[in-house]
């Protein structure tokens, strides 16, 4: 088919995948064959449709051809036989005397059946009125009992002479079977007086000829079906190969290989589709490039801004610490302002640190330093360092070991417990347990819970549950940073309301650190901890 060559240009061939080992080639071929046999496969449906059309056409044509040939063969044989039989009745039976003897009938029947006619003859005469004489050319093959009663009645029925019917008797015939052999039975009477004659002809040869014709037509139908399947396969290959390459190119594009393009040839619909794909890929690549550039610029701006703010913040922190130490000796009119400066400086310092942490996560430079940690001791140390021992009820069995980054676990727990104390109030219950290869830490408060409309957004950056309170003591990044730290360990955090009141955050981490965390840990040890 012209056009539709969906081969990738300027990059990886969209119609092929990466190289495989020798043993993988057979597997790939087997996989392709099995994929082609799925009913959802266009190839299989195309083959089935072609086959169904070809089978219908072939069966219809063969059926019509068989029926026409059958009628032609039987009609030709029948007409020739009846014509010969009628002629023999006129030439031989009509010459018999009105009251023939048994010998005369037998001789005439033998003569009529013996001239290569291919049928047997039965003649019926009358020695006296009401006393019939029957003579058969072959009594072992054909007797009067082989003549259907309906045919006898029709032959013996004298017709009225009219303008349309000038003869009182006619030749009547009927096809019948004896055993498995078909026969033609016909009969007539001599007009003006004379014997009644019947013929009995086997149609076995004609049936054999028709059976041969049926076999020939069946073979032709099978050949047509196979040919249609091969034609459908060729058509499917011609049509679907470009579609498969287009699909492969789309997968590559979805994987981020935005330079993927299709080589276009021809002017058919597939070529138009390839041009449309290339145009869409080019537009997408441009937009992604622009967005990546803007994102990188924004990330660099935040990182640079946070870095630049650290120097003046260090100086401000030192000054505020001095002012805080001298707060009791300051003028009462100045002391509240000093307290506010100290508080806001600390808040700004936390915000800058959080922004730098978020920037490292976005840039992919955050690393973990894994170590075997007693989780109960680590959580206790986190609570003790922030003077939360009186407000937190810890349920943790010592000796619960896990391989993780202690500093990042401390960040996660500090954010979860701090959030529970701030918004839920004490007492806050922290429970540490294991399930199989998973470490589970539950942080529950007994506050009013989280509004249902807020639950999907609790881990969003800078999300405020109330638009009327855009400013809070926190940075709005704590839960987001906790989630990122869980993800970098290969874990997750979920939030939900407890039926009897309060909210619960559940941290799940792999006890062995997880494959992603191991890779990140090796990168961190090789390149240094970027945090």
pLDDT in tens, 104-144: 888 888 888 886 678 888 888 877 776 788 888 888 888 88
pLDDT category, 20, cuts 50, 70, 90?
A: very low
Q: What is the pLDDT of residue 28?
A: 46
pLDDT category, 470, cuts 50, 70, 90?
A: very low
Lowest mean pLDDT among 243-252, 468-477, 516-525: 516-525
Give the distance between the most distant pair of CA atoms in the chain. Answer: 165
pLDDT at 179 over 60: yes
Q: What is the pLDDT of residue 229?
A: 79
Please state, in angstroms and rounded to a whole number, the distance separating the CA atoms of residues 455 and 493.
12
Please state, in angstroms and rounded to a whole number, the distance separating the CA atoms of residues 193 and 527.
127
More confident residue, 197 or 466: 197
Please state, in angstroms and rounded to a whole number, the distance separating the CA atoms of residues 300 and 356.
10
Q: What is the pLDDT of residue 506?
A: 94
Token pair of 408, please?
């990042």
Range list of β-strands (E), 384-512: 392-395, 401-404, 428-435, 438-444, 492-497, 503-510
Q: What is the pLDDT of residue 73?
A: 81
Token pair of 94, please?
């009509």
Name, in order, each residue with C-beta under 8 angstroms of 482's C-beta and a sequence gap of 6 or more. 411, 412, 415, 416, 459, 493
pLDDT category, 474, cuts 50, 70, 90?
A: low
Lowest mean pLDDT among 88-97, 165-174, 203-212, 502-511: 88-97
pLDDT at 35 over 60: no
pLDDT at 1 over 80: no
More confident residue, 71 or 129: 71
pLDDT category, 416, cuts 50, 70, 90?
A: very high
Please state, in angstroms and rounded to a whole number, the distance separating the CA atoms of residues 191 and 344.
136
DSSP SS3 for 197: strand
pLDDT at 158 over 50: yes
N-term to C-term CA, the chain: 58
pLDDT at 319 over 50: yes
Domains annotated for the chain, with CATH where assigned, are 43-211 (3.30.450.20), 258-366 (1.10.287), 367-465+475-514 (3.30.565.10)
Which residue is listed with tokens 């029957």?
134
More confident residue, 453 or 190: 453
Residue % of the chain over a pLDDT of 90? 13
pLDDT at 251 over 70: yes
pLDDT at 213 over 80: yes
Query: Span 380-385, mean pLDDT?
Result: 92
Token pair of 35, please?
């994929």
What own/partner pairs with CB < 8 Å and gap ≥ 24 does 220-223 have? 220/58, 220/62, 221/55, 221/58, 221/59, 221/62
Q: What is the pLDDT of residue 464?
A: 63
Mean of the per-residue pLDDT values for the chain?
78
DSSP class of residue 157?
Answer: P
Q: What is the pLDDT of residue 528?
A: 39
Please state, in angstroms and rounded to a whole number, the distance separating the CA atoms of residues 523 and 268.
51
Q: What are phi and psi of 372, to 5 degrees?
A: -80, 120
Lowest mean pLDDT among 302-306, 416-420, 430-434: 302-306
pLDDT category, 250, cuts 50, 70, 90?
A: confident
Query: Span 325-343, mean pLDDT?
Result: 75
DSSP SS3 for 139: coil
Q: What is the pLDDT of residue 9?
A: 43
pLDDT at 485 over 60: yes
pLDDT at 482 over 80: yes
Q: What is the pLDDT of residue 235?
A: 75
Q: What is the pLDDT of residue 10?
A: 42
**Using an 8 Å Cβ cutoff, are 199 and 118 in contact?**
no
Please state, in angstroms and rounded to a whole number, the distance separating the CA atoms of residues 123 and 195.
6
DSSP class of residue 453?
Answer: T
**Using an 8 Å Cβ cutoff, are 2 and 242 in contact?**
no
pLDDT at 423 over 60: yes
**Using an 8 Å Cβ cutoff, are 442 and 314 in contact?**
no
Integer angstrom CA distances of residue 45 from 6, 32, 221: 22, 16, 20
Q: What is the pLDDT of residue 206?
A: 82
Name, in order, each residue with C-beta under 8 angstroms of 252's C-beta and a sequence gap of 6 or more. 8, 11, 12, 14, 260
Token pair of 524, please?
């961190």
pLDDT category, 376, cuts 50, 70, 90?
A: very high
Name, in order, each residue with C-beta under 8 angstroms of 490's C-beta and a sequence gap of 6 or more. 509, 510, 513, 514, 515, 516, 517
Kindly provide the b/e burial profile for residues 94-109, where b requires at least 16 CB atoms within 10 angstroms of the residue's own CB: bebeeebeeebbbbbb
User: What are residue 125's DSSP bridge partners?
Assistant: 133
pLDDT at 256 over 90: no
pLDDT at 523 over 50: no
pLDDT at 440 over 90: yes
More confident residue, 445 or 294: 445
Sign of the dihedral defined by the CA atoms of residues 6, 12, 13, 14, in that order? negative
Please state, in angstroms and rounded to a whole number, the distance separating the CA atoms of residues 414 and 7.
54
Q: What is the pLDDT of residue 465?
A: 57
Query: Span 168-173, mean pLDDT?
Result: 86
Q: What is the pLDDT of residue 481?
A: 86
Query: Span 57-62, mean pLDDT?
Result: 83
pLDDT at 508 over 90: yes
Q: What is the pLDDT of residue 468?
A: 40
Residues in the chain: 531
pLDDT at 524 over 50: no
Token pair of 435, please?
């399930």
More confident residue, 516 or 18: 516
Q: What is the pLDDT of residue 15?
A: 40
Name, in order, each residue with C-beta under 8 angstroms of 99's C-beta and a sequence gap of 6 or more. 125, 126, 127, 128
Closest CA to 461 of 355, 366, 360, 364: 355
Query: Span 280-295, mean pLDDT?
Result: 84
């Amino acid at each position: 088919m012209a056009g539709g060559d969906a081969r990738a240009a300027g990059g990886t061939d969209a119609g092929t995948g990466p190289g495989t080992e020798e043993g993988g080639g057979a597997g790939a071929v087997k996989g392709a064959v099995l994929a082609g046999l799925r009913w959802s496969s266009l190839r299989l449906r195309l083959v089935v449709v072609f086959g169904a059309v070809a089978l219908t056409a072939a069966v219809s044509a063969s059926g019509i051809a068989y029926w026409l040939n059958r009628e032609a063969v039987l009609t030709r044989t029948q007409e020739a036989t009846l014509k010969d039989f009628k002629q023999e009745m006129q030439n031989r039976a009509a010459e018999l005397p009105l009251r023939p003897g048994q010998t005369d009938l037998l001789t005439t029947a033998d003569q009529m059946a013996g001239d290569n006619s291919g049928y047997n003859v039965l003649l019926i005469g009358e020695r006296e009125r009401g006393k019939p004489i029957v003579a058969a050319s072959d009594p072992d093959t054909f007797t009067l009992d082989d003549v259907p009663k309906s045919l006898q009645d029709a032959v013996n029925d004298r017709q009225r002479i009219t303008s349309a019917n000038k003869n009182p008797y006619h030749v009547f015939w009927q096809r019948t079977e004896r055993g498995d052999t078909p026969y033609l039975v016909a009969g007539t009477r001599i007009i003006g007086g004379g014997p009644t004659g019947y013929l009995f002809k086997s149609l076995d040869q004609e049936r054999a000829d028709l059976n041969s014709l049926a076999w020939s037509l069946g073979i032709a139908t099978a050949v047509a079906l196979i040919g249609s399947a091969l034609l459908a396969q060729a058509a499917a290959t011609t049509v679907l190969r470009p579609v498969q390459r287009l699909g492969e190119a789309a997968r590559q594009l979805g994987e981020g290989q935005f330079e993927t393009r299709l080589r276009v040839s021809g002017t058919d619909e597939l070529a138009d589709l390839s041009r449309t794909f290339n145009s869409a890929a080019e537009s997408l690549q441009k937009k992604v490039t622009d967005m990546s550039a803007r994102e990188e610029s924004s990330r660099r701006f935040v990182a640079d801004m946070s870095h630049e703010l650290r120097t003046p913040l260090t100086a401000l922190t030192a000054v505020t610490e001095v002012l805080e130490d001298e707060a009791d000796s300051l003028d009462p009119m100045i002391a509240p302002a000093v307290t506010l400066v100290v508080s806001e400086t600390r808040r700004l310092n936390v915000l800058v640190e959080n922004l730098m942490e978020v920037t490292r996560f976005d840039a992919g430079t955050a690393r973990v330093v894994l170590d075997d940690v007693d989780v109960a001791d680590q959580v206790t140390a986190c609570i003790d360092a922030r003077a939360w021992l009186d407000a937190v009820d810890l349920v943790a069995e010592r000796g619960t070991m896990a391989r993780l980054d202690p500093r990042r676990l401390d960040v996660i727990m500090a954010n979860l417990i701090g959030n529970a104390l701030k918004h839920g109030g004490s007492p806050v219950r922290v429970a540490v347990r294991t399930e199989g290869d998973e470490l589970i830490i539950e942080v529950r408060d007994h506050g009013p819970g989280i509004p249902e409309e807020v639950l999907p957004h609790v881990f969003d950056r800078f999300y405020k549950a109330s638009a009327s309170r855009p400013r809070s003591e926190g940075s709005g990044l704590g839960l987001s940073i906790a989630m990122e730290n869980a993800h970098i360990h290969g874990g997750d955090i979920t939030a939900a309301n407890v039926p009897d009141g309060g909210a619960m955050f559940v941290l799940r981490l792999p006890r062995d650190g997880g494959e992603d965390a191991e890779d990140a840990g090796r990168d961190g040890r090789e390149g240094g901890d970027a945090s």
